[in-house]
Each structure stands twice: as C-alpha cells, then as structure tokens.
Structure 1
C-alpha cells in the first residue's frame, strides 16, 4: 500500500469528523467577520488613515482568530486521545508523518478558508489594499502551517481538554496583544515593543503586512522565521506521537 493510499482515508475521516460537528468551525469564522465590521471604523478614526486602519484591523484580527483556531487543531487530536483511538492509529501501517498529514490537511483547509473570508471581506467591503495577492497567499499558507504545528505540539503535551483550552485562550490573547495584532506597535509601551519579535504573531503580522505592500523580501524573511517556529513545534508533536505520549489518559 502506497503512502497516499494510507493517508487518504485519514484525511477523509477527519473531514467527516469536522462535518459532523461544524459548530466550532462556524464560530471561528463568524466571530472575526462581525468584529472586523464593527471595529474597523474605530481603527480608521484612531489612526487617521483609512488604508492603515483597515490593514491593521483586518490583519490583526486574522492573526488573533488564527491563533484561536488552534482549538480546532487541538480538538482534532484530543478527540482521538479521548476515544482511545490514537494508539490504534499508531498500530496501523501508516507512519507518524502520514498520521500527522492525515490530521493536517483538513485543519489547513479550515485555516485557509478562515483567512480567505477575512481577506475577501477586507478587500471587497472595507477597501483593504493588496499589492501582491500571490505574496499574501504565500504568507497565509505559511502562517496556517505555523498555527497547525503549534496547535499539534500543545495538544500532544497537555493532559486534558481543559488544559488545552486554557493554554490556547490565554496564549492567543497574550501573543496577539504583544505582537501588535490588536494594537499597533507604535501605540504600545517600550517594553512591549522590545519583546514583540519573540512571538510568532509578530512575524505573522510582518509577513502579512509586507505581502499586502508587495514587499517580497520582507515577506520571505518573516515567513522563514515563522517556518522555524513551525519546525520546532512539529518536531515536538512528532516525537511525542512516536514515543506514545499521546496515549496519556485525558483528565
């Protein structure tokens, strides 16, 4: 059996699981849309520039709700642990990388859909200026991969769904806030600006903003740093899955 033949049933199964419980997916899409529509006029007025205000609110809330989208990643993995099916998957001929790909593709599809809806809303309704759609697509894909890997690493580390929810909810708010996603970096205190580059959300904002400006060099540089975050998180998730740490009983 080829790797594709082993991976495809996992992908189909995970799409099916998403389809049976679409509530979280719908919530993660509708919430940012409503908030962006409500808050965009405030940002435009505060920044005194429609283009800058719109870019800040659309990209900022994209980053914020992408981070919250890690809950979708975690639920996909933690469900397998709660059902005690993760060990059965590990016992199949599929390798660790194939199991991860089977989980990853549906989640990546959701994250890209979430981002596409916000970007489309910004461009068609709010006047978001996009100098290079191709660069923006590239930055969105890199950010989605980063979110996927971070969510998988957290889900393979925590011991309960409650712990995962706490880490994602608190972590997303902290990362988004200190990355300049919720408030422009220029309006933040010196200490916050100093530590902003520590967070992946900062580089997501840099990559996305540079892509909308058509700055290929800056987009690629920020994307490379995001991929470094993703690589570290992916290694953590893969090691824990390979060692069987995913079979810990959920509290």
Structure 2
C-alpha cells in the first residue's frame, strides 16, 4: 500500500462522512444557532456586573466553552452510529487501515467543532464589539480545544451503549465541566472547593487559554494548550485502542 493510495482512501472517507453529516444537519445547525441566541441574551447580565469589555469577554468565552462541550454529541454520535449499525466491523474487514477509518471520521467532526467556535468568536467581534488584538494565540487555543473535544467525544462514543447514555454523558458532563471551569460563573464567585478542583476540568484550561489569548498572555496560552493536547491525546489513544481491540462491538463492552 502506497502513501498515495492511503491518502486517496482517507479522502474518500472524509467526503463520505461529511456528506452523512450534512444530510442530517439538524444537530449541527442547533449547535451553531443556539449559542448565538444564548450569547445575545446572556451578555447584558455580564456587562451589568463586570462592565462592557470584561462582561462581553466573559459572555463570549463562557458561551463558547459551554456549547462546545455540548457539541461532544457530534463527535460521539459519529462513532456510536457506526457501532450500532455494525458498519465499523464490516469496514474492518476491508483493505482500509484503522488509522484511515479514524481520520475519515475525525476530519469532518473537527471541522464542525472548529467552525462552531469561530462562529461564536466572529459573532462576538462583529456584533458585540469583542476585542481580539491577538488572533494567532486565540486560533491556537481554538485548535487545541477542538482536538480535546474530538478526543473526548470519540471516547464517549466508544464507551457508551446507547444514544440515551451518550446524551446523558454530554449533557451532564458538558454542564459540569463548563461550570467547574469558570465558563458561566467566574471562579472567584464559586465556593472554595469548586475553585480547588477546577483544574481537573478540561473546560478550565479552555477558559484560561481563551482569556489569556485575548489578553496576549502567551505563557498561559502555552500552558493551557499543552494540557488540552495531553487530554486530547490520551482520550484519542484510549478510543483507538478500544475500537481496534474490541472491534467496536456493543456486546464486548
């Protein structure tokens, strides 16, 4: 198998999975539209409490982290759908390499996650006067956070047994991680125990990285991105091992 053939097959899988996602755009559209409505309604509350600039930043960052965590459903569903339909096992019996199958699934989902975040930031800049003086560090955080969401979502898709379990996992986990991370409420307003355990939440590092990127604090950006990439790598590796070792079968879980 030549690298050129592998790239071609992977490209075919990417296009196929992208078409599958676009054929049922409801979940994707809801993850794009709802954050903008939520941000519009939430911003006046933060502006009244923190001032225009700080309130706008809190509203945008909080909305981005919260709704991107809820978008774990996009990543998890791509894996769970294959498992429920047994198509993953049939694909494993072809000439496709497991890495090609995983990349073919991952690229469209990664693009959707990143597009959601860019849309929220763009809305904040264009409609709410959010100041982004350092766009490159901000893009770096968004890319790392998207990788984290992709890895954690894939792991959820491998571990759960049904769409109901997946829904509960990303609903409860998303709100818990975003709340503990200081997305919706600043950490200094939370109880002391919440601030102490906050670094255990990936949402905490996303919030810290986004705020640091907006402020131009490259040291904090580098630290946050490093932690997010570690979480992404660990989650993705566990998901890959589980899929390859168990064949993605529900009965084996």
TM over 0.5: yes
Residue 14 (str. 1) matches residue 17 (str. 2) = yes
CA distance in 2, matches of 1:92, 1:63: 38
CA distance in 2, matches of 1:54, 1:236: 37
Structure-1 residue corresponding to 2:133: 131
Q: What's the offset of the Cα at 1:246?
A: 1.1
CA distance in 2, matches of 1:95, 1:131: 43
CA distance in 1, matches of 2:43, 2:106: 32
Where in structure 2 are the equivalents of 1:1-251 lying within 5 Å? 1=1, 2-47=5-50, 49-248=51-250
Unaligned 5+ segments in structure 2 are none
The question of whether the paired residues in 1 share the 8 Å contact of 2:84 and 2:250 is answered with no
Q: Deviations over 1:7-39 (max 9, x none)?
A: 111101110101110000000011100010011
Aligned length: 250
CA distance in 2, matches of 1:81, 1:219: 37
The question of whether the paired residues in 2 share the 8 Å contact of 1:81 and 1:249 is answered with no
CA distance in 2, matches of 1:168, 1:248: 19
DSSP-derived class of the 2:159 partner:
coil
DSSP-derived class of the 1:246 partner:
coil
CA distance in 1, matches of 2:81, 2:132: 38
Deviates more, 1:238-247 or 1:180-189: 238-247
CA distance in 2, matches of 1:250, 1:21: 29
Q: What's the offset of the Cα at 1:245?
A: 4.4
The question of whether the paired residues in 2 share the 8 Å contact of 1:81 and 1:250 is answered with no
Deviates more, 1:85-94 or 1:6-15: 85-94
DSSP-derived class of the 1:156 partner:
helix
Q: What's the offset of the Cα at 1:131?
A: 2.0
The question of whether the paired residues in 2 share the 8 Å contact of 1:159 and 1:250 is answered with no
Q: What's the offset of the Cα at 1:92?
A: 2.2
CA distance in 2, matches of 1:207, 1:245: 36
Unaligned 5+ segments in structure 1 are none
- What is the CA RMSD across the aligned residues, in angstroms? 1.4
